[in-house]
Structure 1
Amino acid sequence: MDEQMRGLLDAMDRLQGLLDAVVAITRENELPSVLYRIVTTAMDLVGARYGALGVLAPSGDELEQFITAGLTEEERAALAGTDFPHGRGVLGQLIHHPEPLRVDDIAAHPASVGFPPNHPYMGTLLGVAISVRGEIYGDLYLSERQDGDPFDADDESVVIALAGAAGIAIENVRLFERAREGAEQFQRLLLPTLPDLRPFTAAAVYRPAAEPSQLGGDWYDAIPLPGNVVAVVIGDVVGHDLPAAAAMASTRNMLRALLFDRSSAPGTILSQLDHTLQAITENPITTTTLARIEPDEGGWRLSWSTAGHVPHLLLAPGRPAEYLFADPGLPLGVDPGLPRPDHSCFVPPGATVVFFTDGLVEHPDHPIDQSLAELTELATEYASLPLDDFVQALADHHPSDGHDDMAVLALRTPPA
């Protein structure tokens, strides 16, 4: 009776372990993380020291990827320079005959071709194929139980069950990635390619949020106007969905039309935009900065108005970087009846003005002042780079936590 009870408890523990493993796998939302999690949870379920997942090449007769777990740093170092297994020997047995495979002595198996030099000892093997939508995706391999015993039928059964859940998890994350890639591509198609802005140079970059989301509301634009004048806009529509992307596109296009009225100051144009949006759309709240740069004696004059947006950064030769703090005004969609203040400053030759959205600097664990200071240091460090490399560097090393999408547009005045 005690043995029966112990066996029942062991079975319940293993079932609970399997359920926990399935939950852990389905929580992952990146394919590399899913594949590695499959290996480690399989190892935990059967107490294996080593584990690997071989992903089949499109031809289906060899492995194109091999994810491993369990190797110590010393074992990995000893195998440095050794190519990963492509599916010959015992591993290939499972590729060509995708039934569960249990081997008590790998070296004695008829298909064995031995191990490469410096490979850790592996005597036992449990292999199970993983199918996705009815096709073999790859093979899960486990070796060396921690207790020294060979793998048994119970181990095989639980790994087969895990492989079934793994196939579903792989398919789900692949579908999710395709949807996310499509959404990101759509977002990028909504953003313009910057035109020739001579005598200025300009560069822009957009990065989606690190965490999976749908679409973003960040956008930028730059429009050349007569008389060596350039209008620059950057903004962020509240939300991460299709309506936010649609609102971003409609707001940008309306603003483009209004920008050709050169006689109006940026604040007046933003007020016109706010009234228009309220009258004919149901767009969500939007923050934006509209700036215009034009010739001034000995340099350039930057005029701007802000609708609740973060300040832009001025990098001028021979002086410290500075944020152009000014009355930010209300975001679009709050109260179009309130006046929008205009601001201006002199910009010397060879200077760079950096416009960005809050996704570049927001971090829930850091005050905004700290993030802005970090961005100043980054911008100063990379200021000598070509402008395309400069904006990429800011996006690569941003001080935010990456929870939001981000856009950066930099405009550089011609040298003296």
Structure 2
Amino acid sequence: MNRRRTPRSASAEDLLSTLQHLTARARQEVGPHQARVELAQALQRKMLPATLPSLPGIRTAARYAPARDGLDIGGDWYDVFLLPDGALGLAIGDVQGHDVEAAAFMGQVRIAMRAVAGTAADPGEVMARTNDLVLSMDSSLFATSSFFRLDPATRELSSARAGHVAGVWATADGRSGVTTDAGGLPLGIDAGQDYPVTRRTLDTEGALVLLTDGVIEGPSMPIGDGLEEVRRLVSAHVGASAEELADTVLRAAALTGHEDDAAVLVLCHDRPPGPGAP
């Protein structure tokens, strides 16, 4: 008796044809998205500072990681710059959204804050005037941010916060914690906002780490647990270089299962010289 055999070659041809069709369709759909991602990545690279300044006894470092292993881009930013009076300005922030518009808006906010900081010494005034400029952009987006001003002579660190997440600090003598500074509304929400100023003195060796929420919050970790994990890491590595500490903190973002981009800004400070020191 003759048995009829299934024409396997026909099934293989059908499978290959289906695969080719799906591949072509995927390329058509992914192409525009990939082009948009690449444009946003280029904007992000151009709008973040290429180098960060340091001062005697003061070192800075920063890291940025895009969301979802590079498949998306957002509006997280950091900035460190010298002010006309010799002080050091530090800023970190997060723009709502994850697209080209968010990346471009981030650049506008960063430039506006840097420009205002060059003419206003008080961080609260810097934040309030930046808020006014952001509102004048007539955008539907808003941004959270923290701005710090460090006087290298007195080691006074003054700061103001606009809806941004807390920072983490640790000292070489074993102390550590999470900043509890008062703050105001995010930038771009409402006019006429006041931003309280917090002042502290960096009178010993230590580190201050500023973050965006992508570092400490995600599906696998609530924000409180994320801050505690970063506090533990900073305390354990407070003697490391600013670059090493930034790398260590950014790796912690993987623990959160984060779907947001993430930025880390580290300020390491030596113990200030005593009276009469050269």
Q: Do residues 190 (structure 1) and 47 (structure 2) align? A: yes
Q: Do residues 201 (structure 1) and 59 (structure 2) align? A: yes
TM-score by length of structure 1 reads 0.58
- How do 1:62-141 residues align onto structure 2 when only pairs under 5 Å count? none
Q: Do residues 412 (structure 1) and 268 (structure 2) align? A: yes
Gaps of 5+ in 2: 273-278
- How do 1:234-313 residues align onto structure 2 when only pairs under 5 Å count? 234-262=92-120, 264-282=121-139, 284-295=141-152, 300-313=155-168
Deviation sequence 1:127-158 (CA, Å, 0-9, x none)? xxxxxxxxxxxxxxxxxxxxxx9982243233
What is the letter of the counterpart of residue 232 of structure 1? Answer: L
Of 153, 160, 167 in structure 1, the residue corresponding to residue 9 of structure 2 is: 153
In the TM superposition, residue 283 of structure 1 has moved relative to its aligned partner by 5.3
Pick 1 or 2: higher relative contact order, CA cutoff 8 A, min separation 6.
Answer: 2
Of 195, 201, 205 in structure 2, the residue corresponding to residue 346 of structure 1 is: 201
What is the letter of the counterpart of residue 227 of structure 2? Answer: L
2:36–2:100: 8 Å Cα contact kept in structure 1?
no
Of 233, 236, 246 in structure 2, the residue corresponding to residue 378 of structure 1 is: 233
- C-alpha distance in 1 between matches for 2:53 and 2:160: 24
Task: Quote the sequence identity (%).
Answer: 26
1:214–1:242: 8 Å Cα contact kept in structure 2?
no
2:162–2:183: 8 Å Cα contact kept in structure 1?
yes
What is the letter of the counterpart of residue 156 of structure 1? Answer: A
Q: Do residues 219 (structure 1) and 39 (structure 2) align? A: no
What is the letter of the counterpart of residue 37 of structure 2? Answer: R
2:169–2:178: 8 Å Cα contact kept in structure 1?
yes
> Match for residue 276 of structure 2?
none
Q: 1:174 to 1:278 in 2, by over 3 A?
A: closer
Q: 1:183 to 1:278 in 2, by over 3 A?
A: closer
Deviation sequence 1:160-184 (CA, Å, 0-9, x none)? 2233135326635873545433422
- C-alpha distance in 2 between matches for 1:340 and 1:265: 10
TM-score by length of structure 2 reads 0.85
> Match for residue 403 of structure 1?
259
What is the letter of the counterpart of residue 134 of structure 2? Answer: L
For the pair shown, which has the larger CA radius of gyration, 1 or 2? 1
Deviation sequence 1:339-374 (CA, Å, 0-9, x none)? 211111122343211111111111235332111111
- How do 1:313-392 residues align onto structure 2 when only pairs under 5 Å count? 313-392=168-247
In the TM superposition, residue 308 of structure 1 has moved relative to its aligned partner by 0.3
- C-alpha distance in 2 between matches for 1:407 and 1:239: 15
Gaps of 5+ in 1: 1-6, 8-148
1:204–1:410: 8 Å Cα contact kept in structure 2?
yes
Aligned length: 267
- C-alpha distance in 1 between matches for 2:179 and 2:243: 22
- C-alpha distance in 2 between matches for 1:157 and 1:166: 14
